[in-house]
């Protein structure tokens, strides 16, 4: 069976590889838990978008909250991507790798005045505005700086992206965006404020979307607005359809990025908007299947036989936990787990759990695995919303990260040392 992440993740004999690197060897060299990413997989995922957009005015803005390690940003910056940021911290990161403001769009419902100032000073390409009060605050901040802020309104198209409620963002009751029926009035206000410049329109309907139709529905709703605005004399330069394209974790079959883009372009053309610059904000689909989390099996704790005293389940206790990889605990997400060395022994059914003191601390439930203590396991599809959601819960330092390409590898983030976790703390009298 092909693994998620193939062809960059795959077996060579009984040894699991990421590109040409033996994952068990990487784990032994750098220790565990360890994130490992394939640079070729990231480049190839971006190229799928870029090829479908070739010859059209466009900017693919990598939604960096999916994975914001500097070397990952550098990889996309070198490949010509733009960036979608959601905080001043992300702005600082992306500027640190030399990205120009003109390639940055700033999303998020709660931008502070300080963040707006820094983004204006950096000359970001666009603020994706999510509420009327935010629009007014940005107008003030820009006026005080003596600049014009480029804005796009994030419209909530009220479509169901058919995904998990926590990662669905385009429904009426979500906190995101401006209601479709308010949008026209808010655009009029924006156009009337001298310190703002209306440049675009955007939407982002959710994450891990596995069908094309919600995108096309949202696009139609947004194009209705583009047309209404044009009748009002407000011409837009770009349309941003957001991110959210899903990946295969298990057996999902999301559309290929190129197919999605082609259908979006077709719809734009069919409605006479082929000249609008198209922006996209993919996160997960650029990095999710490019990464794995490596973890060592610490202990096996077999369950009691049915009808006898003791826990009924088999627990495989590993050294990675919910603080390293939140997705299973937070969304009950299923992620593939495979040993880095295939054992030709009978498998058993294990719950793969971490050392954190929470019952929610699991990485996989009811997994058929042939494992022994000391084995290294790979949690697949861990390149997105893995390291960026990591915490220090239980005073655990965050994992190290390596990037590989072919048979080369670079340590891109050192393992976080425990002393640094309390270095900023003070005792009291």
Ligand X SMILES: *Cc1c(COP(=O)(O)O)cnc(C)c1O
Instruction: Compute the least distance from the CB of residue 256 to ligand X, in Å.
Output: 15
**Cα–Cα distance between 267 and 131 in angstroms, integer?**
28
State which of residues 8, 45, 73, 84 lies at the interface with ligand X (CB under 6 A): 84
Q: Are 354 and 327 in contact (CB under 8 A)?
A: no
Q: Is 87 in the site for ligand X (CB under 6 A)?
A: no
Instruction: Compute the least distance from the CB of residue 167 to ligand X, in Å.
Output: 7
Spatial CB neighbours of 144, under 8 Å, sequence gap ≥ 6: none
Q: Tokens for 398, please give them.
A: 């965050």
**Cα–Cα distance between 390 and 285 in angstroms, integer?**
19
Q: Tokens for 345, please give them.
A: 């022994």
From residue 264 to residue 303, what is the string marking binding to ligand X with x (rule CB under 6 A)? -----------------xxxxx------------------
Instruction: Compute the least distance from the CB of residue 385 to ligand X, in Å.
Output: 7
Q: Which residue number, 111 or 204, has a Cβ lying nearer to ligand X?
A: 204
State which of residues 5, 82, 157, 242 lies at the interface with ligand X (CB under 6 A): 242
Q: Tokens for 21, please give them.
A: 């690197």
Binding residues among 126-165 for ligand X as defined by CB under 6 A: none
Instruction: Compute the least distance from the CB of residue 342 to ligand X, in Å.
Output: 32
Binding residues among 30-69 for ligand X as defined by CB under 6 A: 63, 65-66
Q: Which residue number, 69 or 107, has a Cβ lying nearer to ligand X?
A: 107
**Cα–Cα distance between 30 and 317 in angstroms, integer?**
20
Q: Which residue number, 33 or 177, has a Cβ lying nearer to ligand X?
A: 177
Return the closest-CA partner of residue 93 out of 108, 83, 80: 83
Q: Which residue number, 60 or 318, has a Cβ lying nearer to ligand X?
A: 60
State which of residues 24, 131, 152, 207 lies at the interface with ligand X (CB under 6 A): 207
Residue written as tokens 């040894």? Answer: 15
Instruction: Compute the least distance from the CB of residue 242 to ligand X, in Å.
Output: 5
Residues that are catalytic: 357
Q: Kindly state the number of chain residues that form the binding site for ligand X, as judged by CB under 6 A.
A: 17
Name 201's bridge partners.
153, 239
Instruction: Compute the least distance from the CB of residue 84 to ligand X, in Å.
Output: 5
Spatial CB neighbours of 386, under 8 Å, sequence gap ≥ 6: 35, 67, 291, 293, 324, 325, 327
Q: Which residue number, 242 or 291, has a Cβ lying nearer to ligand X?
A: 242
* 158 conformational bin, left if phi > 0, alpha if psi -120 to 50, beta if neither: left
Q: Which residue number, 248 or 314, has a Cβ lying nearer to ligand X?
A: 248
Q: Are 244 and 205 in contact (CB under 8 A)?
A: yes
Binding residues for ligand X, per CB under 6 A? 63, 65-66, 84, 86, 107, 204, 207, 242-245, 281-285
């Amino acid at each position: 069976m092909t693994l998620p992440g193939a062809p960059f993740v795959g077996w060579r004999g009984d040894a699991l590889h990421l590109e040409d690197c033996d994952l068990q060897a990487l784990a032994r060299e750098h220790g565990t838990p360890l994130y490992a990413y394939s640079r070729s997989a990231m480049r190839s995922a971006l190229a799928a978008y870029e090829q479908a957009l070739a010859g059209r005015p466009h900017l693919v803005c990598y939604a960096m909250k999916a994975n914001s390690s500097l070397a990952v940003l550098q990889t996309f910056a070198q490949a010509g991507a733009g960036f979608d940021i959601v905080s001043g911290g992300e702005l600082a990161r992306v500027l640190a790798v030399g990205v120009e403001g003109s390639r940055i769009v700033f999303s998020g419902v709660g931008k502070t005045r300080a963040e707006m100032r820094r983004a204006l000073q950096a000359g970001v390409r666009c603020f994706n505005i999510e509420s009327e009060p935010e629009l007014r605050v940005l107008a003030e901040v820009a006026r005080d700086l003596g600049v014009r802020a480029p804005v796009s309104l994030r419209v909530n198209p009220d479509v169901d992206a058919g995904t998990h409620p926590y990662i669905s963002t385009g429904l009426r009751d979500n906190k995101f965006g401006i209601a479709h029926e308010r949008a026209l009035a808010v655009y009029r206000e924006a156009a009337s404020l001298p310190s703002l410049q209306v440049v675009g329109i955007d939407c982002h309907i959710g994450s891990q979307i596995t069908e094309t139709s919600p995108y096309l529905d949202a696009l139609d709703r947004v194009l209705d607005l583009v047309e209404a605005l044009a009748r009002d004399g407000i011409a837009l330069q770009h349309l941003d359809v957001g991110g959210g394209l899903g990946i295969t974790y298990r057996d999902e079959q999301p559309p290929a990025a190129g197919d999605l883009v082609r259908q979006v372009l077709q719809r734009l053309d069919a409605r006479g908007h082929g000249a609008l610059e198209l922006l996209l904000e993919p996160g997960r689909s650029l990095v999710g299947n490019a990464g794995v989390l490596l973890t060592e099996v610490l202990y096996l704790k077999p369950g009691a036989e049915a009808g006898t005293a003791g826990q009924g389940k088999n627990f495989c206790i590993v050294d990675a936990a919910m603080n390293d990889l939140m997705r299973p605990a937070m969304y009950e997400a299923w992620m593939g787990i495979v040993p880095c060395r295939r054992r030709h022994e009978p498998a058993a059914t294990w719950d793969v759990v971490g050392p954190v003191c929470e019952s929610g601390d699991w990485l996989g439930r009811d997994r058929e695995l042939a494992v022994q203590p000391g084995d290294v396991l790979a949690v697949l599809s861990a390149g997105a919303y893995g390291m960026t959601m990591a915490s220090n819960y239980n005073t655990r330092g965050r994992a190290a990260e390596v990037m590989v390409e072919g048979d080369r590898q670079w340590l891109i983030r050192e393992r976080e040392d425990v002393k640094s976790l309390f270095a900023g703390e003070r005792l009291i009298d």
